Amino acid sequence: MNSFFYLFRTKIKGSVRVQFSSLGTGMAVIFTVLIYGILIGTIFTSSVPYDKETMYLQAATAILAGIGVTAFFSMLSLMSKRKALLYDTDAFYFFSGPYTKTQTNLFILVQTLKGALGYGLIGCFFMGLLSMGGYFSIPYFLLCLLVLFLISSIFLLMTDYIYMWTLVKPKAKIWNYIAVILVLASAGAVFFISMQAAGYDLEDGFLKFAVSREFYYVPFFGWGKLVLSAFLGKEYMGMIIGLALLLLANAVFVILFLTFPRNIVEQAVRDAEEISNYVRRVKANGGNILSSEGKIKQVRGEFPEGARAIFYKNILSMKKTGSFLRKQDFFVIVVYFLISYFMIAERRFYMFSYMMILWLFNLLNDTEFLGDLKNYQIYLIPENPLKKLIYVVLPAYFKISILIGTAILIAGIFNRMPVLTTLQYFFMLLGYAMIFISGTVWAAKVMKTKASVALENLLRMLIILLAAIPATGAGFLAWFLLKDLYVFQAVVTVVTIVMNFLVSAIILIACQGMMNGREI
């Protein structure tokens, strides 16, 4: 048992050590924690006492959003094709070391609960964002975290338990689909009842669905909503019943998991090695799902001479691998649109636009783009280095511009926004896209082969802050001279857009030496 706890402590220390293995990654971790800490602190400080008459709908919508995010990750874990109980290193130690079956299962259980805690924190983050200016106190946050953690742990434990049975009986995987269908069917039935009561008006039907007491009968998710709604309404008996149901469900799956009767070591080790190798390949591919995992299309392309060949090569690669519009990008955009749709009508378009900035953070881990930035052989092309760098970043920017333009245009038309407002946010997002691209280039130049996604995001944030200083200064000058809020907002918006493009251009010019085989 001592070796078990020693290994567990060593893994925790190793995880922390990896996060601070270099100055750059350490700064990125600290800066990221500070950013999210300030945002969460702002949510808590803006909380006001709960008033059921004016805040019930906002609170119900926030609860449904948090539960929805948790449901998304929970269903994703159940439907995932690649599963394993451990990664290969842990599997080697626990399945071949001096550990009992119960100790091994206990370690796996702890890892599962850590994942559930992460999903719970993500759900709480979305709840906090939708509760800005409303009620989201620290005790309420802790209760939300507990509820979402319990919901996530039920599904993650269910996923592991079904997976263990599939190693013995492959047909048992059908229970993954049965569990998802049962939950979705019960939620769909409640939504249908709400729509029927609202005369099939979509917006009114959703609002009725958000506050419906029938939702409490949806397994697991409804019980979580019962706990949080009862807490807000000071109906403590309902809160106790909901918590008791969630704890009971967790206890059942924990007991089933820890007392699993079959021997699955051999197949579990093979799956651990397979998923570990897959994760390593994805990390080496810039965090994207490998193009080799999907179909390669037969398409034709052309290769002009000089630096233009870089652009045409990357466009051809996007066509062959289908990476121009990946399924996960389309899915994320649709999810963001649906989340923004259920906001107050006047905020929908703005909410969607700012959520697209979050999407940009994950979009730019493009294999061809990142590979060309670190390709020593590009210096052999006898062209101006700045021209070569422009052709390297142009395919990624071309892709982003089309996707953002289409998404913003559809959102603008759907929400009946003025043309100028739609164009304003389109150019704003294009400016941020240039900031993110230049931040990636700068990270490759500064950190060379040690550049990481965390560091690139840190540099992007720093550049955004740098570009925001002149815009804020010009805005306050306009406010001081004219005392007009609309002029202040217009000046800040225009100067921010201009500064984003200007700072990005300066960074690209300063980094052009990368394309001469130097500084990489």
CA atoms within 13 A on the CB side of 363: 29
Whether the Cβ atoms of residue 30 and residue 118 lie closer than 8 Å to each other: no
18, exposed or middle or buried, with CB in 10 Å at 0-12, 13-18, 19+? exposed
Whether the Cβ atoms of residue 98 and residue 3 lie closer than 8 Å to each other: yes
DSSP class of 172: G
Task: Please list, in sequence order, all residues whose beta carbon lies within 8 angstroms of the beta carbon of residue 215, skipping any fewer than 6 positions away.
Answer: 187, 190, 209, 221, 222, 225
How high is the pLDDT of residue 290?
47
Task: Please list, in sequence order, all residues whose beta carbon lies within 8 angstroms of the beta carbon of residue 316, skipping any fewer than 6 positions away.
Answer: 299, 301
How high is the pLDDT of residue 146?
93
Left, alpha or beta for 173 (phi > 0: left; psi -120 to 50: alpha)? Answer: alpha
How high is the pLDDT of residue 250?
92
How high is the pLDDT of residue 387?
83
How high is the pLDDT of residue 149?
93
Structure tokens at 358: 């979050």
Q: How far is CA 271 from CA 107, 170, 268, 279, in A?
A: 17, 14, 5, 12
How high is the pLDDT of residue 243?
92
- Amino acid 226 reads L
Q: How do the residues of the chain divide into helix, strand and coil, expressed in percent and rounded to 5?
A: 80, 0, 20
Helix-helix angle 174-197:202-211, to 10 degrees = 110
Whether the Cβ atoms of residue 363 and residue 398 lie closer than 8 Å to each other: no
How confident is the chain (520 residues) per 10-residue block, as mean pLDDT?
69 72 66 71 78 74 82 79 74 72 81 86 81 79 91 90 85 83 83 76 69 81 88 86 93 88 78 76 55 56 72 73 68 74 67 77 58 65 81 83 87 85 85 80 65 58 64 67 67 76 84 68
Whole-angstrom distance, CA of residue 349 vs CA of residue 469: 26
CA quadruple 437, 442, 448, 452: dihedral sign? negative
Only one residue has tokens 């130097």, namely 518
Number of helices (H), then strands (E), belonging to the chain: the values are 19, 0
What is the distance between the terminal CA atoms of the chain, rounded to a whole angstrom?
48
Left, alpha or beta for 263 (phi > 0: left; psi -120 to 50: alpha)? Answer: beta
Provide the residue ranges of all domains of the chain, joining segments of one domain with +. 23-283, 305-514
Whether the Cβ atoms of residue 470 and residue 495 lie closer than 8 Å to each other: yes
Report the b/e string of 330-342 with b at 16+ CB within 10 A. Answer: eebbeebbebbbb
Whether the Cβ atoms of residue 358 and residue 434 lie closer than 8 Å to each other: no
Whole-angstrom distance, CA of residue 450 vs CA of residue 448: 6
- Amino acid 255 reads I
How high is the pLDDT of residue 110?
84
Query: Among 461, 407, 492, which Cα is nearest to 32's?
Result: 461
Whether the Cβ atoms of residue 476 and residue 482 lie closer than 8 Å to each other: no
Query: Among 65, 252, 64, 222, which Cα is nearest to 153's?
Result: 252
